[in-house]
């Protein structure tokens, strides 16, 4: 899914006061603990965190105050190329080229360090600028396979800037290092990466591995300890998309090299909660949800011939809002499913990270997609899932 934001022209709202009804918090926390399933033999290494570019760029003070309360162990930030480089740089390998607009990304990594998250930021690099597309089509350019040269120069500049050794012009010290680098977002889905097929043959896995190899070649020399996260699979294929399992097979055939495998196991039937996906084939599932996540793990181990760490780099259940009722669950269901999902992922030995999509719901939009998977409504009101998250994350911290 991912989130679109425009760094320029966004107003920053003043930090609003937060009122916490502690009695309600304790009651909801107790409820979350009651509904949690037993987790005998569970591991204690799961890190949880958020992706929410819109909230942090629009209301930075509120966002980081929330991060402090929510016991965050990992954060994802979308480095959206079309906004970082809306015009073609003259010196594309120089992160100081005036065409680059790094301000929001700089702010994020500096704040992450200040809030105790040094080396716990995941960069996801994607969204093709019009000038970098390899396709002739004028439709959906941000999803296009970019020209390799332009991608190579961009990821080199990003790696240099966030290597931990780069001091921007006018600054007095280097920007923090970023260790985790994810190539693209949901590359098996036609709405996020094109082309998926050429003359009936799936080409997206091979193209994706080209981007992955290029990113690795440009980042590793500058950040020797960098880890490369690959996949970011959307939950399912479609008429013009590739299933996660078939995409992994294509990656293997193309010689993919990476350190961590990532996936977004969103729900097909939200009300089913943790049961969603259980009816899928164990050997060739078209849909990867939380209910058949063991199948994803076993198949990935079989395809790649080794047990990679697995990160859930995007996940969540949407709640109703004015004008949005389809594919949603009730507020109480979201709170229960959230708590249960943390416990479930903690039980799975290869799953190290779970990133929840949104702290705060997007404001309603008359046109285009908007998302309501947050722990807060768009007006800042806490949902029951707010206290459910605190209960789950606090339990993880105590068990580490």
The torsion defined by the Cα of 317, 319, 321 and 323, in degrees rounded to 10, comes to: 60
Select from 109, 108, 91, 111 the least CA-distant residue to 100. Answer: 91
Give the model's pLDDT for residue 239: 84
At residue 17, does pLDDT exceed 70? Answer: no
Give the residue, 349 or 386, on which the prediction is more confident: 386
pLDDT tens profile 115-134:
999 999 999 999 999 999 99
What b/e readout covers 16-30, taking b as 16+ CB neighbours within 10 angstroms?
eeeeeeeeeeeebbe
pLDDT tens profile 242-284:
999 999 999 999 999 999 999 999 999 999 999 999 999 999 9
* The three-state (H, E, C) secondary structure of 209-269, written as one string: HHHHHHHHHHHCCCCCCCEEEEEEEECECCCCCCCHHHHHHHHHHCCCCCCEEEEECCCCC
Note the CATH architecture for domain 45-399.
Alpha-Beta Barrel (3.20)
At residue 371, does pLDDT exceed 80? Answer: yes
Residue 253 and residue 272 in contact, taking contact as beta carbons nearer than 8 Å? no
Domain boundaries, the chain: 45-399
What lies within 8 Å, CB to CB, of 386 at 6+ separation is 375, 376
Select from 42, 151, 169 the least CA-distant residue to 103. Answer: 169
Residue 281 and residue 225 in contact, taking contact as beta carbons nearer than 8 Å? no
């Amino acid at each position: 899914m991912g989130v679109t934001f425009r760094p320029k022209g966004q107003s920053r709202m003043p930090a609003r006061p937060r009122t916490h009804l502690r009695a309600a918090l304790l009651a909801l926390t107790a409820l979350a603990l009651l509904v949690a399933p037993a987790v005998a033999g569970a591991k204690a290494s799961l890190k949880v965190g958020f992706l929410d570019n819109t909230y942090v760029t629009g209301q930075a003070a509120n966002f980081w105050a929330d991060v402090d309360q929510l016991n965050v162990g990992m954060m994802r930030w979308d480095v959206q190329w079309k906004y970082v480089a809306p015009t073609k740089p003259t010196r594309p390998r120089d992160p100081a080229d005036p065409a680059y607009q790094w301000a929001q990304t700089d702010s994020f990594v500096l704040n992450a360090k200040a809030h105790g998250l040094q080396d716990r930021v995941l960069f996801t690099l994607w969204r093709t600028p019009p000038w970098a597309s390899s396709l002739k089509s004028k439709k959906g350019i941000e999803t296009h396979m970019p020209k390799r040269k332009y991608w190579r120069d961009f990821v080199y500049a990003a790696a240099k800037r966030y290597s931990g050794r780069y001091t921007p012009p006018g600054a007095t010290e280097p920007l923090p290092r970023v260790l985790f680098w994810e190539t693209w977002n949901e590359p098996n889905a036609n709405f996020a990466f094109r082309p998926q097929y050429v003359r009936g043959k799936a080409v997206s896995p091979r193209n994706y591995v080209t981007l992955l190899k290029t990113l690795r070649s440009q980042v590793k020399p500058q950040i020797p300890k960098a880890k490369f996260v690959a996949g970011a699979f959307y939950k399912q294929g479609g008429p013009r998309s590739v299933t996660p399992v078939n995409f992994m097979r294509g990656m293997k055939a193309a010689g993919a090299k990476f350190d961590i495998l990532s996936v977004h196991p969103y729900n097909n039937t939200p009300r089913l909660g943790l049961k969603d996906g259980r009816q899928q084939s164990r050997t060739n599932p078209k849909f990867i949800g939380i209910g058949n996540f063991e199948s994803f793990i076993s198949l990935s181990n079989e395809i790649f011939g080794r047990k990679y760490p697995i990160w859930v780099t995007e996940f969540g259940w949407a709640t109703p809002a004015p004008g949005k009722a389809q594919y949603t669950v009730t507020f109480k269901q979201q709170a229960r499913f959230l708590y249960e999902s943390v416990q479930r992922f903690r039980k799975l030995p290869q799953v190290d990270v779970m990133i929840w999509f949104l702290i705060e719901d997007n404001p309603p939009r008359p046109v285009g997609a908007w998302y309501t998977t947050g722990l807060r409504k768009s007006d800042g009101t806490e949902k029951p899932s707010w206290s459910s998250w605190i209960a789950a994350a606090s339990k993880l911290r105590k068990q580490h």
